[in-house]
Amino acid sequence: MNDNDFPATPMMQQYRELKARDPEALLLFRMGDFYEMFGDDAERAGQLLGLTVTSRDKGPNPMPMAGFPHPALEAYLAKLVQHGVRAAVCEQVEDPKQAKGIVKREIVRVVTPGTLTDDNLLDPRAANYLAAIVESKGKLGLAWVELSTGRFSLTSVLRNELNDELARLSPAEVLISETALDTPWSKVLRTHCTAPITSRPSWDFQADQARQALFDHFRVTTLGGFGIDDDAPEVQSAGALIAYLRETQKSSLGHLTRLTPHHRAGILAIDEMTRRSLELTRTLREVKREGSLLQVIDRTSTPMGARLLSEWLMAPLTSLDAINARHDAVAELLADSMLRADLREAMGDAHDLERLAARIGTGRATPRDLVALGRTLSILPRIKARLTARKSARLCELETMLELCPEVRTAIEEAIVPDPPLAMREGGLIREGYHSALDELREIARGGKSWIAKFQAEQVRRTGINGLKVGFNKVFGYYIEITHAQGAKVPGDYIRKQTVKNAERYITPELKEYEDKVLRAEDRAFELEYELFIGLRDRVSADAPRLIQAGAVLAEVDVLTGLAELAAKQGYCRPEMMQEPVLEIEHGRHPVLDVLLPPGEFVPNDVKMGGDNGSIVLITGPNMAGKSTYIRQVALASVLAQMGSFLPARRAKLGVVDRLFARVGATDELSRGQSTFMVEMTETANILNNATPRSLVILDEIGRGTSTFDGVSLAWAITEHLHDNVGCRTLFATHYHELVDLEKTKPGLRNANVAVKEDQGDVVFLHRIVPGGADQSYGIHVGRLAGLPTNVLDRAREILAFLEKQHRPETNAPAPGQQQAPAKVMPRVKSARALQVSLFAALPDPLLNELRGIDVATLTPEAALELIQRLKDLAG
Ligand code: ADP
């Protein structure tokens, strides 16, 4: 529907003008006590916010309209932002009573998912980035900014690296040029990135324009001082971000004081698939924070600490010195439990200093924000004192960096009352005694009652009218009320104003003069309070960069203390870090299961790789035995150690990993239109092409998306390649027993399997990893756990026994003591397909036909349930 079709009342004309300024934004149009939306916006709002859509006029072409009362604004904005919608808030900017004609209205705020600063619209524990991407000079320039804290960074990436970088950042909104909408990378972006993508004018991204926008903002003539090349592609994206912020934020961007180049060299590269497989910040299936690594290791006490922890987890370090610096700090905080407790207690009282400082910088802080800032500043001396004379270099650095900003704190404490109201223009913000003119005005405004009492008594005496009363109402202000019965005594200088039942109301010049003074005093007091507050806020905003730095220090102290607390509570050990590619863990645990399982239930395991211990561990064993858990826990150990944490283990020795690759667990890629097998092979190709001798690779069940022959062959060849050509530390879990033969010719490969206890036909998985290959599948056992009917299980056992009896596998491998094998050992695959044909040929039953297709070893519980349903259907 076209809004231009609607009748052109002056107000609708005003609406249309405002709407045209940002046609894509949903316009919330203030009308009295309501925000209204019209036309398409009303329909959209109706759907997204569950509002009733009515129509404004009843003509042949009624205009849809929806609205909500003004106090509900923040709640509805939050909902719109969650839906990725940009909203423009339009207010009445003059008093309707004073307006000549139509009330003046302006868009005072544009709220977009990537530019939030309000606490109640933000998740305190997560960063909220606005990102911009541009293609230039064969690369993608990427810049991101967090308006709520003032961080502003940039880097450039290759096309195939974009998804991984975006997965790390997880932006809330992405800007691209309108001319880039059809590029291949933007199409990929749209399929992989859940954030709303906002298209922007192409000139914002043009090199000259973008550079100039940054020069103007930072008041520089080159970005060299930030360590950035003026011609780099990412500069174009950063410039486009500034242009967008200028347009949407009707306030200062003074807190964006620095551009920080993001150097990926010092960071452990973790691709998107690996992050997801390892459930670093979200679980794989439910995509929730609960159950992720982040959730269990988060012992921070402040929101800024929680955000920094998440950042560290998404970008572990690769420099040995930097990792050791964090470990030293954690060790010191772990050893001194009093220090830890004191710091945690102090930080428990801290507000979100980073976001407060940013709101102050953008001129958005409320009186309550200033009070929160004052309170947070008041705990800094305690924290600084506790960080003084520490052993670890990082804690000493943090102590030096922490500025107490006492003058800011004093200024706030002297000026603002401890518990100011939300409204900023209705008084009650400034302390008594802070400003003498304000005190006088307040005195006059408050003095009203005693003056009136005195005046009333005087008038009674003068007129002899005992029932004379002084009253006040909104229309007439102060008046003298005299009953009709005593009307005869009214003095001549009284001016009659109003007749009410039984009485007359009068005024006198003296009374009116006083009234003016009182009312003006109150108004002026409110105004003055507001001015004093704004003055204070401006003064404090000059300190925003120092405050932001204090916030960053608090965040880091919080993260380090939290990691020490985690180590203390969960019995973690300090890993010994080195350059050599070793990986030795004694009594290692999976950090998440360690917390989630009842105490003592998790079975710890060892791992020993590197040097004489070989570089590949091949873990064979049945499903549900604990293979994935084991290989994941090893990968998580590297992530934890390199982000600065201690490890859930008794002892650990880790060589720094440069890239981590994990392919674990089923992922639902089908919705993206690719077959599971294709996805699996693409990911494996990525690993084989990019892993270096310092990388860590963990693979789970590679090749299961295809037939057994194909699968075994691929898994075999992949393992050989990793062993012969890459030589990186690799843990490979598989249920293809055939692969155990690889150990015979690959000196760097060790077999391992999961110990199983058999008890009168029942099988117990001990979750203990032991040397050697497994030789049984126990798939039927898993089928029982999944609830397959007993007759199916019995029959499966019968068939298995038959198969095993009939077809003992022939061995291609050399018998002990014989000559070495030929140059290449071939897998000894049990020729399953041939066997199946001969076995089932005599049994032409549809039920058995179905059974024939089952690969019990890879059956998931869900698939098993579906299967049972199908079998039941077949049975009739
Ligand atoms: P697989 O990869 O061999 O199929 P998983 O690693 O998925 O097996 O583990 C199967 C189940 O066993 C999981 O539910 C897990 O909780 C449990 N488990 C795995 N390893 C251990 C362990 N070391 N201690 C206790 N429980 C474990």
Distance CA 419, CA 679 (A): 57
Quick one: pLDDT at residue 514?
Answer: 85
Query: What mean pLDDT comes out for the span 481-492?
Result: 86
Mutation probe of ligand 1 site: the residue of 629, 766, 785 with most atoms within 8 A of C-beta: 629
Q: Are 644 and 326 in contact (CB under 8 A)?
A: yes
Quick one: pLDDT at residue 368?
Answer: 93
Half-sphere exposure of 212 (CA within 13 A, CB side): 7
Q: Are 175 and 244 in contact (CB under 8 A)?
A: yes
Both tokens assigned to 22: 């940002």
Q: Are 32 and 69 in contact (CB under 8 A)?
A: no
pTM beyond 0.85 = no
Q: How much helix, strand and coil, in percent to the nearest 5, is found in the chain?
A: 50, 20, 35
Q: Are 105 and 28 in contact (CB under 8 A)?
A: no
Q: Is the pLDDT assigned to residue 768 strictly greater than 60?
A: yes
Distance CA 394, CA 333 (A): 12
Which residue lies with its CA nearest to atom 18 of ligand 1? Answer: 626
Residues with Cβ within 8 Å of 694's Cβ and at least 6 positions away in sequence, in order, are 581, 655, 656, 657, 658, 659, 728
Residues in the chain: 876
Query: Which atom of ligand 1 is nearest the CA belonging to 604?
Result: 23
Residues with Cβ within 8 Å of 559's Cβ and at least 6 positions away in sequence, in order, are 300, 305, 308, 309, 312, 644
Q: How far is the CA of 626 from the centre of ligand 1 (A)?
A: 3
Q: How far is the CA of 346 from the centre of ligand 1 (A)?
A: 40
Q: How far is the CA of 435 from the centre of ligand 1 (A)?
A: 68
For residue 637, give the amino acid letter. Answer: A
Q: Are 362 and 253 in contact (CB under 8 A)?
A: yes
Quick one: pLDDT at residue 674?
Answer: 55
Q: How far is the CA of 369 from the centre of ligand 1 (A)?
A: 48
| 297-326 burial: b if 16+ Cβ within 10 Å, else e | bbbbbbbbbbbbbbbbbbbbbbeeeebbbb
Q: Are 332 and 560 in contact (CB under 8 A)?
A: no
Strand order in the sheet with 576-578: 576-578, 651-655, 583-588, 605-609
Query: What mean pLDDT comes out for the span 162-178?
Result: 91
Query: Which atom of ligand 1 is nearest the CA belonging to 625?
Result: 3
Q: How far is the CA of 202 from the centre of ligand 1 (A)?
A: 52
Query: What mean pLDDT comes out for the span 300-318?
Result: 95
In 249-319, which residue ranges form alpha helices assigned H by DSSP? 272-277, 293-297, 303-314
Q: What is the pLDDT of residues 350-402, one digit of tens each?
A: 999 989 988 888 788 899 999 999 999 999 999 999 999 999 999 999 999 99
Query: Which atom of ligand 1 is nearest the CA belonging to 629?
Result: 6
Question: In terms of DSSP bridges, do strands 605-609 and 495-500 run parallel, antiparallel, or are they unpaired?
Answer: unpaired
Query: What mean pLDDT comes out for the span 457-473?
Result: 89
Query: Which atom of ligand 1 is nearest the CA belonging to 605?
Result: 23
Q: Are 778 and 854 in contact (CB under 8 A)?
A: no
Both tokens assigned to 233: 């592609």
Sign, CA dihedral 595-600-603-606, equals positive
Quick one: pLDDT at residue 827?
Answer: 52
Nearest to 128 by CA among 110, 150, 154, 156: 150
DSSP state letters, 445-492: HHHHHHHHHHHHHHHHHHH--TT-EEEEETTTEEEEEEEGGGGGG--T
Query: Which atom of ligand 1 is nearest the CA belonging to 593?
Result: 16
Mutation probe of ligand 1 site: the residue of 603, 624, 664, 858 with most atoms within 8 A of C-beta: 624
Q: How far is the CA of 9 from the centre of ligand 1 (A)?
A: 69
Q: Are 373 and 353 in contact (CB under 8 A)?
A: yes
Which residue lies with its CA nearest to atom 16 of ligand 1? Answer: 593
Q: Is the pLDDT assigned to residue 864 strictly greater than 70?
A: yes
Query: Which atom of ligand 1 is nearest the CA belonging to 765?
Result: 12
Q: What is the DSSP letter of 60?
A: S
Query: What mean pLDDT comes out for the span 867-873?
Result: 78
Ligand 1 neighbours (beta carbon < 6 A): 593, 601-603, 623-629, 767
Query: Which atom of ligand 1 is nearest the CA belonging to 700?
Result: 2
For residue 202, give the amino acid letter. Answer: S
Q: Are 330 and 564 in contact (CB under 8 A)?
A: yes
Which residue lies with its CA nearest to atom 14 of ligand 1? Answer: 624
Tokens 């691929």 belong to: 714
DSSP state letters, 800-817: HHHHHHH-PPP--SPPTT
Question: In terms of DSSP bridges, do strands 605-609 and 583-588 run parallel, antiparallel, or are they unpaired?
Answer: antiparallel
DSSP state letters, 77-131: HHHHHHTT--EEEEEE-S-TTT-SSSPPEEEEEEE-GGG---GGGS-TTS---EE
Query: Which atom of ligand 1 is nearest the CA belonging to 622?
Result: 3
How many Cβ atoms are within 10 Å of 499's Cβ, its own excluded?
A: 10
Pick the more confident residue, 700 or 704. 700
Q: What is the pLDDT of residues 497-547, one digit of tens each?
A: 888 888 999 999 988 888 888 878 888 899 999 999 999 999 998 888 899
Tokens 């009492």 belong to: 453
- Which H or E run contains 185? helix 184-192
Which residue lies with its CA nearest to atom 25 of ligand 1? Answer: 602
Q: Is the pLDDT assigned to residue 672 strictly greater than 60?
A: no
Q: How far is the CA of 637 from the centre of ligand 1 (A)?
A: 17
Pick the more confident residue, 765 or 845. 765
Residues with Cβ within 8 Å of 494's Cβ and at least 6 positions away in sequence, in order, are 480, 506, 507, 508
Distance CA 434, CA 429 (A): 11
